[in-house]
Amino acid sequence: MEKNYSDLKDEELLRLSIERPSVFEVLVERYQAPFLRKAHRVLRNQEDAEDVVQEAFTKIYVNAGRFQSQEGANFGSWGYKILLNTCFTFHQKRKRISGKRVYMEDEVFYNLSEKNNEGKEMEIGNLVATLLSQLPKNLHRVLHLHFIMGYKQQEIADMERETVGAIKTRVFRAKQELKKIYAIQNGE
């Protein structure tokens, strides 16, 4: 008889799913509806949202062994970070294929005021993921690595083979550009 795992915390379920893949279904049941809502708000297309959510769950499962619970960062924040990264990647691919600028849903800005377990970290992540698609490539990469992927500026400098000062300057310029884009979209 199958054990009832529904009382376990997300982090425990993820850890157990490494050895028992069927346990991952509990996480999918918990997060599928909210992930679909978030992906649909970002991508504005139900079919695309379903594809992205499926891909995000695959990434979560494949990378389950990498998850490390930290103070202020739980499975939910990690899962949403993967989902938003997957949405962003899908959006960028769609934009390249179509050859024209494709905007993500403005409703994502509304979601910035929603309070959730992740608080400010998720609000910033939502804002950056939404606006990044509208930045020039040279600016969006550094912010994606810093805010979405969580790399420190020194790590980005090492990856990009640039000085920390150059990365700080790009981050500053990218933030300024984000402010302009945000102001335009909000009629300021």
For residue 17, give both structure tokens: 């799913």
pTM above 0.75, yes or no: no
Q: What is the pLDDT of residue 97?
A: 66
Nearest-angstrom CA–CA distance, 38 and 127: 13
Give the residue, 128 or 62, on which the prediction is more confident: 62
Tens of pLDDT, residues 15-48: 999 999 899 999 999 999 999 999 998 888 899 9
For residue 111, give both structure tokens: 């979601």
Fold of 10-122: Rna Polymerase Sigma Factor; Chain: A (1.10.1740)
Tens of pLDDT, residues 118-145: 444 444 445 555 666 677 777 877 877 7
Give the residue, 156 or 26, on which the prediction is more confident: 26
Q: What is the pLDDT of residue 92?
A: 77
Give the residue, 62 or 108, on which the prediction is more confident: 62
Q: What is the pLDDT of residue 7?
A: 87
Q: Are 118 and 87 in contact (CB under 8 A)?
A: no
Q: What is the pLDDT of residue 99?
A: 53
| pLDDT-wise least confident of 25-34, 38-47, 69-78, 179-188 | 179-188
Mean pLDDT across the stretch 67-93? 83
Q: Which residues contact 55 (CB under 8 A, 6 or more apart)?
A: 86, 90
Q: What is the DSSP letter of 149?
A: S
Q: What percent of the chain has pLDDT over 90?
A: 24
Does position 103 have pLDDT exceeding 50, yes or no?
no
Tens of pLDDT, residues 109-122: 333 333 344 444 44
CATH classification for the domain delimited by 135-188, as one of 1.25.50.10, 3.90.320.10, 1.10.10.10, 3.90.1300.10: 1.10.10.10
φ, ψ at 68 (rounded to 5°)? -130, 120
Q: Which residues contact 172 (CB under 8 A, 6 or more apart)?
A: none
Q: Are 104 and 42 in contact (CB under 8 A)?
A: yes
Q: Are 177 and 135 in contact (CB under 8 A)?
A: yes
Q: What is the DSSP letter of 10?
A: H
Quick check: helix, strand or coil at residue 97?
helix
Q: Where are the domains of the chain?
A: 10-122, 135-188
Q: What is the pLDDT of residue 123?
A: 46
For residue 105, give both structure tokens: 């849903």
Mean pLDDT of the chain: 77
pLDDT bucket at 172, cuts 50 / 70 / 90? confident
Q: Are 17 and 64 in contact (CB under 8 A)?
A: yes
Q: What is the pLDDT of residue 185?
A: 61
Q: Are 90 and 98 in contact (CB under 8 A)?
A: no
